Amino acid sequence: MHYHVARDGQQLGRISEAELKAGLHDGRFLPTDLAWREGMSEWTPIRDLNLVANAEVVVPKIAVSAPRAAVAASAPAFSPSGPSGGAPAFGPAVPQGGSGLATTSLVFGIVSLVTCSLAGIGALVAIITGHMALGRIDRSRGAIGGRGKAKAGLIMGYISLLLVGIAIVASLAVPVFARIQEKGIVKKQMNDARQVHVACLIYAAENSGKYPATLEELVEKKMLDAALLDGLDDVKPTGWEGEKGFDYLGAGKNDTALGETPILVSRSEGKKGQRIVVHHDGSVAEEKLEE
């Protein structure tokens, strides 16, 4: 009884059963090599033929050191319709299209990287078709190529999916960080404005209850740090509209006549129309002023 033996899509020759058993022992043939003989419907791995179990090992007719060409010399011609002797074409039962899926995975993997608008969809297509292609290639026992394309498509697909995830997280995080930054600036300006008001009270106590004509007078009299005043003039909260700085409304007024009049009011306002307001009594808050 003789078998046609093939490996990696190439036929090794027409081998007798005894020689095949011996070749399994000496390493010339592998359990994963495919074999076919008359009466078999398809190529089958040698390990599934049960040739070694309970069988006496026969010395091979071809020496172990014989070149591969000598083994394959007697192999029937390989053609799409099958070798002479009736053997089926190598791998006919394997589903075709694996290489096409691999190409699809590669193309969509590239698209998912270079086209941000299709990144999510392209990545999913690349991953799904890549896994399908690898599955078909594995089942084909080497008859279908494209493993490299499938792996490349998978890698790019997963990278694109990761980038999409990062973009989604960033889109959610940026507004949160902006709000935190806005709150931080508002809090600092409120604290600085409160210090300006304290300096105004000290000035009024030393000048018959009158507030300074300008805030620069507080700096000249060493009652206020110039850097603090510059900070009020050069900064506005993130997202607020309007000019930087504060309007000083207590110029030359008597501290007993101010009543509820604000002393300092920010020129910029938030999305709800609120401004930073410092009152005569020292209270500081975000308020929407009446026109």
Of 154, 8, 175, the C-alpha closest to 90 is 8
Tokens linked to 141: 């026992």
36-73 residue pLDDT tens = 888 887 888 888 887 765 444 444 444 444 444 444 44
Q: Which residue has the tokens 């989604």?
A: 168
- Report the run of H or E that residue 265 belongs to, with start and end: strand 262-266
pLDDT band at 117 (very low <50, low <70, confident <90, very high): low
Question: Is pLDDT at 263 greater than 80 in this prediction?
Answer: yes
DSSP string, 246-257: EEE--TT-BTTT
- Helix, strand or coil, per DSSP, at residue 44: strand
Confidence at residue 283, expressed as pLDDT on a 0 to 100 scale? 85
3-state helix, strand, coil in the chain (%, to 5): 45, 15, 40
Confidence at residue 95, expressed as pLDDT on a 0 to 100 scale? 40
Q: Do the beta carbons of residue 126 and residue 109 sit within 8 Å?
A: yes
2-72 CATH choice from 3.30.1490, 1.20.5, 3.20.14, 2.40.360? 3.30.1490
Tokens linked to 23: 């070749």
For CA atoms 165, 170, 173, 175, give the dihedral sign: negative
Number of Cβ within 10 Å of residue 4's Cβ equals 27
Separation of CA 122 from chain center:
13
Tokens linked to 43: 């190529």
Range name among 188-202, 252-266, 272-286 with the lowest pLDDT average = 252-266
Cα separation of 74 and 12, whole Å?
8
Cα separation of 68 and 50, whole Å?
24
193-251 residue pLDDT tens = 889 989 988 998 898 888 899 989 999 989 988 888 888 888 788 888 988 889 898 88
- The runs of H, that is alpha helices, within the chain are 17-26, 68-72, 98-114, 119-139, 147-206, 216-220, 226-234
Question: Is pLDDT at 155 greater than 90 in this prediction?
Answer: yes
Tokens linked to 218: 């507080």
Give the Å distances, CA to CA, from 2 to 13, 35, 54, 70, 79: 10, 10, 19, 17, 20
Domain boundaries, the chain: 2-72, 98-171, 179-287
For residues 10 and 20, the model is more confident at 20
What mean pLDDT is reported for the chain?
A: 78
Tokens linked to 111: 């698209």
pLDDT band at 152 (very low <50, low <70, confident <90, very high): very high
Q: What is the value of pTM for the model shown?
A: 0.46
92-103 residue pLDDT tens = 443 444 468 889
Of 183, 207, 193, 191, the C-alpha closest to 249 is 193
For residues 255 and 273, the model is more confident at 273
